[in-house]
């Protein structure tokens, strides 16, 4: 884009430094476009990861609900066993073995619940880290936009300077033309 501007305003008459500045600005604008596209791709990937994590959390919630149902079933069994103990005192030793077995199952369930809780804590930490990464990416995007806006302001300033140079060049051409006319008059007077 800037190279087209250069050739359109008479590239041969411009200072070589301005041409090099325009080349560098053109390259930086292209690089910023590529960087922004890359950041957009990364943000889209992170959104997919977060959606996957949300799905995993929903699955864990279902598992926890299932475990709660199982625990409720076990509680019902324990209540039934208590009724049987009161009606069948002769089977006390057998029931004690069953109760101890149930206690072991409940203990196993408690252990499993602690593991699930630890997994949920890990997932929350991971989600917080992902959120922080997203915040950092958003900040980087804002920084890139600010730099892009600054470059656009610089380009506008350069355009203004080029317009001023054109006016000065036109003035020099007019003065030169007047000088040629004055020289011709002086030659004619001789």
pLDDT for residue 23: 85
Crossing angle (nearest 10°) for helices 16-87 and 92-189: 170
pLDDT at 91: 61
Position with higher pLDDT, 98 vs 102: 102
Taking the CB of residue 107, how many other CB atoms lie within 10 A of it?
10
How far apart, in whole angstroms, are the C-alpha atoms of residue 166 and residue 162? Answer: 6
8 A C-beta contact, residue 31 and residue 148: no
Model-wide pTM > 0.75: no
Query: Rounded CA gap, 125 and 49, in Å?
Result: 14
Residue-wise pLDDT for 137-173, tens only, equals 999 999 999 999 999 999 999 999 998 999 999 999 9
What are the pLDDT digits (tens) for 7-47? 555 555 557 888 888 888 888 888 888 888 888 888 888 88
pLDDT number for residue 150: 93
Determine the length of the chain. 190
> And the tokens for 41?
């791709």
* CA contacts within 13 A on the Cβ side of 98: 14
Q: Contact, 154 vs 25, CB < 8 A?
A: yes
Give the pLDDT of residue 174. 93
Is the per-residue pLDDT at 102 higher than 80? Answer: yes
Burial 7-35 (b: 16+ CB within 10 A, else e): eeeeeeeeeeebbeebeebbeebeeeeee
pLDDT of residue 73: 81
**Whether residue 53 has pLDDT greater than 90:** no
Question: Which residue did the predictor score with more confidence, 102 or 11?
Answer: 102
* Residue 98 or 169, more confident: 169
Residue 133: name the closest of 69, 47, 72 by CA. 47
pLDDT digits (tens, 9 = 90+) for 105-143: 888 999 989 999 999 999 999 999 999 999 999 999 999
78 has pLDDT over 80: no
Residues 158, 162: Cα–Cα separation, whole Å: 6
118 vs 59: CA distance, rounded Å: 15
**Predicted pLDDT at 189:** 84
């Amino acid at each position: 884009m800037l190279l087209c501007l250069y050739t359109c305003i008479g590239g041969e008459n411009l200072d070589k430094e301005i041409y090099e500045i325009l080349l560098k600005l053109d390259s930086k604008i292209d690089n910023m476009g590529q960087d922004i596209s890359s950041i957009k791709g990364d943000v889209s990937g992170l959104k997919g990861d977060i959606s996957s994590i949300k799905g995993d959390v929903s699955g864990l919630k279902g598992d926890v609900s299932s475990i709660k149902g199982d625990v409720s079933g076990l509680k019902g069994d324990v209540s039934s066993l208590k009724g049987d103990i009161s009606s069948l005192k002769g089977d006390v030793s057998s029931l004690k073995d069953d109760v101890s077995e149930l206690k072991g199952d409940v203990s196993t369930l408690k252990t499993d619940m602690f593991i699930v809780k630890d997994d949920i804590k890990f997932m929350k930490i991971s989600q917080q880290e992902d959120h922080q990464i997203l915040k950092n990416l958003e900040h980087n995007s804002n920084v890139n936009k600010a730099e892009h806006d600054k470059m656009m302001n610089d380009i506008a300033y350069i355009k203004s300077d080029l317009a001023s140079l054109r006016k000065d060049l036109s003035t020099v051409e007019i003065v030169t033309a007047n000088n040629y006319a004055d020289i011709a008059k002086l030659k004619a007077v001789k």
